Amino acid sequence: MSLHGMNIYFEIANKDILVDLLLEEGYDDFYFFPCKRYSAGALLTSAEEQVSARRNFGLFRLFLQKAEAIVLARAIKAELKDKTIKILIDEVEEL
């Protein structure tokens, strides 16, 4: 049985919504990393973002089974359907 790492990249303003959703879904063991998204000017909304060419994002990292990851990804996308979010999974092996 292999685990998958699930990376959820999101606009930092949505952090509390995602924390609440993860806890409601029974996930209480995950990691958070602040990060920046560098992108073209059209994707940047504030003057500060346009000058720096980056936007404040966050990353949640969870480790779970692939079937769980798919169900959770659907729930997250349904909750944040009009927000910028990217969800990726990769197979991992604990050493």
- pLDDT tens digits for 40-66? 655 556 555 555 567 889 999 999 999
Residue 68 pLDDT level (bands cut at 50, 70, 90): very high
Of residues 55 and 7, which shows the higher confidence score?
7
Give CA–CA dist 52/63, Å, rounded. Answer: 33
Give CA–CA dist 81/85, Å, rounded. Answer: 9
Give the per-residue pLDDT at 59: 97
Give the per-residue pLDDT at 48: 56
Q: What is the mean pLDDT of residues 67-74?
A: 96
